[in-house]
Structure 1
Amino acid sequence: MAVIALGPPLLWLLCAGGAPSLSYRELKDLKKANVLHIDVRERWEIDKFGKIPASINIPLGELVEALQMDPTEFKEQYNQKMPAKSDPVVFSCLAGTRSKQALGFATSLGFSRVQQYAGGFEDWVKHEPPEKK
């Protein structure tokens, strides 16, 4: 039997592969329970198209650094309490590609209760209008 060494990219793909993906309704219910919802789209996308209400924007390129910040710095930068590794966190993007990557990053950093809303912003706006900045 061959043993294959998994580098980080393959590892996060495998971690995210079986990851639970939320439906619109599940995300709506989770938001009532105060889950931290991180939208990993770029800032210009939020500015141009709006956002899912009660989500915070941390572009994918900043996510790994953000999830390792000092809690005070995180609060200052994102106006939100830093999530603990055991807190429920949901990632979304436009249509699921970047949120899947975010899920892998967070899992590799030790976050244990992370999920993605794979339908993302595209799916959300089919159900209700976005929040404008």
Structure 2
Amino acid sequence: MATYEEVKDIPNHPEKYLFDVRNESELKETGVLPASINIPLTELEKALNLPEKDFAQTYGRAKPAVDAVMIFSCKAGGRAARAANLASTLGFTNAKAYAGSWTEWEAKQS
């Protein structure tokens, strides 16, 4: 599991990835996590299977290596856990969920 402190420090670690798997409409309602890449959970498997060039063109960042630290966030942690499990199934070895997700992030920002 990823912690709030780890997620807060993501902008200082360009080698790590923070994926927000909420839908775009949710981001518009609440806001976004700094340095996160939005890939809705329903699109995640397709995105992680993209060729490197296509991933970079679509998401503006190099596709994560199989051993890259990948943190997944959603609203309350459920989809983040499913996303981390999906990434692990696809062969990514350092995928983890941010259990508190947006709910914890927002509470600690105020």
Q: Does 1:114 align with 2:95?
A: yes
- Cα offset, 1:31, TM superposition: 4.1
Which structure 1 residue ranges, 5 or more long, are not aligned?
1-20
Bigger-Rg structure (1/2):
1
Q: Does 1:98 align with 2:91?
A: no
Structure 2 equivalent of residue 24 of structure 1: 4
- Cα offset, 1:32, TM superposition: 2.1
Query: What is the number of equivalent residue pairs in this alignment?
Result: 109
- Give the structure-2-normalised TM-score: 0.92
Q: For the structure 1 residues 29 and 124, does the alpha-carbon distance in structure 2 shift closer, same or farther, using more than 3 Å as the test? A: same
Structure 1 equivalent of residue 37 of structure 2: 56
Structure 2 equivalent of residue 128 of structure 1: 109
Matches for 1:78-89 after TM superposition, within 5 Å: 78-89=59-70
Q: Does 1:74 align with 2:74?
A: no
CA offsets, 1:23-68, max 9 Å, x none? 2113223442221100000011112211111101000000001000
**In 1: Cα distance, 2:11 partner to 2:99 partner:** 16
Counterpart AA for 2:109: E
How high is the sequence identity, in percent, across the aligned residues? 37
Note the aligned Cα RMSD (angstroms): 1.3
